[in-house]
Structure 1
């Protein structure tokens, strides 16, 4: 891989990289995002996707992971200082590697008969990424996000998803009112009020899961148009973290289908 050293934070390539990392509107305008860490880059390449450019440090460039990336990436690697990398990084604890990639497009229409996860106004990037990772592991490949949820393709959500994104069909800024009535399969919401136990439901057929905001839960519209289920908590806690609750639901579904 040819290497090009960049020293100034005002270099146009650095400004472009920073914009993609920090601004959702800039990512949408440019049609690109940033993968952080060699694990994500290798997972991306494993799906036969292309990397547009890579930024790293001189020290990290000698890591064996870069040899694996070089087998599939022939473009230039931009080498920056350790201090500049730390200023750009959203983590700071992984091997220095920031890769610019084109955002995938949702070319397929929603399948209203397929297992689906709907994220309604879930704002924490870690929760969103974890839910995508659990959904992918449970065999749910269709993900819908309403407006107000964390951007699925932000660097932080991508990092939390650990590559799960790359096998999923994702749809963002969708209004529940536009889609819920079209599903031909059961729709469930997680709620601790007026709900039945998750473990009383037959989950052997395709279904939809709606998970709501960390503090407020799902909307009144979602509650009115879905079956509410709860997760028994004999320990007496008021609620579970939304990513944990979703994962419990997904793998009860998996258990019933095995």
Structure 2
């Protein structure tokens, strides 16, 4: 049975302050925890699960694992409907210095605030083979439980870094392709897209920050399909949706 102090400590990991202080985050669900167990790059601190999960899974002897009741699992879960298992995982150290940019696409996220959007962007990036995502320092934190949940395990396969995007862009080789979705951009269906480069995805409501737009040398526009007889149109696309459309086009090159 979980003690009150242990429940309090695990529950505190729903807050960024305590994740940073303890160097731990929470991952939930059979699929995600199974992948973590199979991935040597991630260190599981402890697993809490109900009996039926342990009946189907073997946990290595070096990982602390505890059987809990569904009621206790709900007390430490961040989900409305708790899954069978919850893992407390060590946050790995990330070093941005050795990112390879040539012959691949790299995402830059500029002040993405919605955890669900970030998780979806991660999952989409993983699908299209993006290896690295660089986030502005004010982008929602990777280890937010909602980001982890929405990524469906993709956080394990895509490297995520936090850095000043302006400083990063200033260090790019001269003429290196830097793309961004903008209203004044070229129709993506007709544009000659580069075979490598940076793709900047802007904030959900404000788009790409003005101090970053000067670094964009490939301005792209996803055209609106103005259906006949329709008078009102959305003024923008969801950031995660725009990211998926652009990555789909880039994957053809």
Gap change, CA 1:71 and 1:23, over 3 Å in 2: closer
2:212 paired with 1:222? yes
What is the match of residue 165 of structure 1? 155
2:244 aligned residue (230, 237, 247): 247
Pairwise CA distance, 1:72: 3.8
CA distance in 2, matches of 1:29, 1:112: 32
Q: 5+ residue gaps in structure 1?
A: none
Structure 1 length as normaliser, TM-score?
Answer: 0.85
CA distance in 2, matches of 1:23, 1:151: 10
Which range moved further: 134-143 or 147-156? 147-156
CA distance in 1, matches of 2:61, 2:177: 44
2:170 aligned residue (159, 165, 181): 181
Contact 1:41 1:69 survives alignment (8 Å):
no
2:143 aligned residue (153, 167, 178): 153
Could you give the per-residue CA deviations for residues 98-123 of structure 1, whole angstroms, max 9, x where no partner exists?
10111122135233434211111111
CA distance in 1, matches of 2:121, 2:39: 21
Contact 2:46 2:89 survives alignment (8 Å):
yes
CA distance in 1, matches of 2:87, 2:185: 44
Which range moved further: 230-239 or 31-40? 230-239
Gap change, CA 1:73 and 1:243, over 3 Å in 2: farther
2:93 aligned residue (81, 88, 105): 105
Structure 2 length as normaliser, TM-score?
Answer: 0.87
CA distance in 2, matches of 1:225, 1:204: 15
CA distance in 1, matches of 2:106, 2:55: 37
Q: 5+ residue gaps in structure 2?
A: 227-232
Contact 1:119 1:144 survives alignment (8 Å):
yes
What is the match of residue 50 of structure 1? 43
Moved over 6 A (4+): none
